[in-house]
Amino acid sequence: MRRHVTRLGMAMLMLVPLGSCAPGGDAAAPSAGEDAAASLAEAVMGSITVEGLERHARAIVQYERPSGGPGENAAIDSIVASLRADGVPVEVHTFDTYASDPVSASVRVPAAGLTLPAITMAYSGSASSLRAPLVDVGGLADLPDLEVGTGELLALEGGSAMDGERAGLPDVRGSIAVVEGQPRNVPTAVLALLGAEGVIFINPEERLNDLIVTSTWGTPSLRNYSRLLDIPSVQVTKSGGDQLRSLLAAGPVTAEIDAEVWTGRKTLRLAVARIEGPTPDAPYVLLGGHIDGWYHAGTDEGASNAAMVELAKAFHAERERLRRGLVVAWWPGHSNARYAGSTWFADHYFEELRDRAVAYLNIDGVGQIDAVRLSSTATASMHSLARRVVREAVGQEELPGSTPGRNSDQSFNGVGVPLLQFNHARSAEDGGYWWWHTPDDTYDKIDFDVLSADAGLYARAIAHLTADPVLPIDMVAEVEALGALIERRSQQAGGRFDLSEASGRQRALLERVRGLAASLSGHDGPDLDRAMLAVLRPIYRVMYDPIDPFHPDPGFSVGLLPGLAPVTILAEEDPSSDRYLFAETTLVRERNRLLEALDLALLEAERLQGRLGS
């Protein structure tokens, strides 16, 4: 065991109460902390090698890895054996989920003697020779009113008062609807609610991308299993779609579709490496990425899995330097069980995550050949760390950033954990990410120099998060972002919904966290980490989580501050209509939720200010 002086030193630091400066806690302390993170990052990056990344990636990508299958299990075994060989503690959980595997599909127009290559999607309904007239409903992008349907799906949890005519759609009852665009869950659900018998998605490119059409998230529960769809949906290539549309241009077309999908209970395994902080209950950073994937899943995401192995080993070797632990999880059930692994972990480790997790770093799809464009997906509190890491790593000053969506194993919004993901994408001129979710996502699509650099970004971010005395989490940016969102929802309501009280409380909170941010320097310790997260948690839960923190939200986005999404209904609807009344009632309740969150955050901020003694 290599733990003595450093760890004892840290234990002493943690006993220093908030409100008095840690030893050396003058102006020099933060830079000492930054030096610690910088030298930790250097040490970690120094032990991550291209050879190591290649070895792990080859061991993983050799298998096809649909979740719950022998290939995924072999890849998990290989990762676990490699970690244990280096003494990294790793646990393997086993749990049941509700998975869905597409098996086969076809699309035929018997009268024209036409048979098109097709696939079906995870969680599609099954059909054998379903025969019905085709109705072309246009492209996903041509149907903005589907967004209104999204809001109603969200508000009504499965029911819908939606009127297809108002949405500008042709009558799809009894038909097979034809839609241009990659398969998505909301359009599928909307077409099912409008009475379509089946859906044919036309891929906008000359390929077929494996996808998922359920709007459940993780294993369905009693609250949301009614969202599972019976409607069969299939996908054809662009040229296949052109053939269908040219037949439709000449007159009515009756088509037949087959879709075979296996959906049911499946046992999955989840490997979790735990690199302890200075004490067994120390706060930790959670790093996660999915182990399963479509076909050989080279860049989505055997490459990222390999980087995770190297990061786990490297941080384990440097564990004496950590102020906080690192937990690394290889999520199963991402692709054919709709984020079942990360959701299971959020469900079963909810209190531990709430009390100890200081950030969730998601890794997905890094290490692609010819990747040129860096960006981040993050909660507002994490953008400044992302920018700083990229500036330190590659000298790039600007970093495009997006806000968390409903994808990529982002299962921890309800727990209230800040999120950061680095993205490294190819240019459109190079054909973009054309092999994504296809059999062409093979080992040769990984560039190990790119992967090594991408792993370096995560190494730097984790080094700051595990070694900086004060967590590099920007509370001010998060509260500012909330203020902008309240303002935006107020504008969307067109003067029909009053959010002025919420704006006033947000301004009071902002003033308080600005004061806090200025007085954090020179303090440290797990109690400070927890107190900072406690200020942010209520804010995350309203900004990123529409229903409640304990039940996963539907797997689609209605934008940030999602509970207030129905303000658009007020702006466009006749105030005397039933729909207006239902939307307004929803919004009054959601405003109560927002006001309570602001009050809780303010209370926590005042408590922290009191403990800092300034």
Closer CB to Zn ion, 301 or 524, in the complex: 301
For the CB of residue 194, give the shortest distance to Zn ion in the complex, in Å. 31
Site string for Zn ion, 255-294 (x = CB under 5 A): ----------------------------------------
Residues in 193-222 at the binding interface with Zn ion, rule: CB under 5 A: none
Residue 437 or 464: the one with the smaller Cβ distance to Zn ion is 437
- Least Å distance, CB 154 to Zn ion, is 24
Question: Toward Zn ion, which CB reaches closer, 380 or 419?
Answer: 419
> Based on CB atoms, which residue is closest to Zn ion, 301 or 474?
301
In the beta sheet, which residues pair with residue 331? 290
Which among 9-17, 356-364, 410-418, 445-453 is the span making contact with Zn ion, rule CB under 5 A? 356-364
Least Å distance, CB 305 to Zn ion, is 10
Stretch that binds Zn ion, among 277-285, 299-307, 477-485, 571-579 (CB under 5 A): 299-307
Residue 72: what are its φ and ψ, rounded to 5°? -65, -45
Q: How many CB atoms lie within 10 A of CB 580?
A: 16
Q: In the set 301, 318, 478, 604, which binds Zn ion (CB under 5 A)?
A: 301
Q: State yes or no: cis peptide before 276, omega within 30 of 0.
A: no
Nearest to 217 by CA among 558, 557, 563, 552: 552
Which residues, 6+ apart, have CB-to-CB distance to 594 below 8 Å? 486, 499, 502, 542, 561, 563, 564
When the beta carbons of 300 and 553 are compared against Zn ion, the nearer one is 300
HSE toward the beta carbon, residue 369, CA cutoff 13 A: 12
CA separation for the pair 212, 120 (Å, rounded): 9
The nearest distance, CB 336 to Zn ion, in angstroms, is 12
Nearer to Zn ion, 301 or 310 (CB): 301
Give the nearer residue to Zn ion in terms of CB position, either 301 or 584. Answer: 301
- For residue 184, the Cα-to-chain-centroid distance in whole angstroms is 16
Least distance (Å) between residue 300 CB and Zn ion: 4
Q: What is the rounded distance in angstroms from the CA atom of residue 456 to the CA atom of residue 450?
A: 10
Distance between CA atoms of 396 and 572, rounded to whole angstroms? Answer: 43
Token pair 């991308």: residue: 209
Residue 364 makes contact with Zn ion by CB under 5 A: yes
Rounded to a whole number of angstroms, the minimum distance from the CB of residue 334 to Zn ion is: 6
Q: How many residues lie near Zn ion (CB under 5 A)? A: 3
As given in the structure block, the two tokens for residue 265 are: 């209970």
Span interacting with Zn ion, options 108-116, 257-265, 301-309, 511-519, rule CB under 5 A: 301-309
Distance of closest approach, residue 162 Cβ to Zn ion, in angstroms? 31
For the bound state, the minimum distance from the C-beta of residue 436 to Zn ion, rounded and expressed in Å, comes to 8
In the block, residue with structure tokens 């991402």: 334
**Alpha-carbon gap, residue 338 to 315, rounded angstroms:** 30
For residues 180 and 364, which CB has a smaller minimum distance to Zn ion in the complex?
Answer: 364
Least distance (Å) between residue 432 CB and Zn ion = 15
Q: Which residues, numbered 425-464, are part of the site for Zn ion (CB under 5 A)?
A: none
- SS3 track for 469-497: CCCCCCHHHHHHHHHHHHHHHHHHCCCCC
| Whole-number Å distance between alpha carbons of 276 and 11 | 13
> What distance in Å separates the CA atoms of residue 278 and residue 202, rounded to the nearest whole number?
54
- Cβ neighbours of residue 572 closer than 8 Å, sequence gap 6 or more: none
Residue among 440 and 527 whose Cβ is closer to Zn ion: 440
Name the residues that contact Zn ion, by CB under 5 A: 300-301, 364
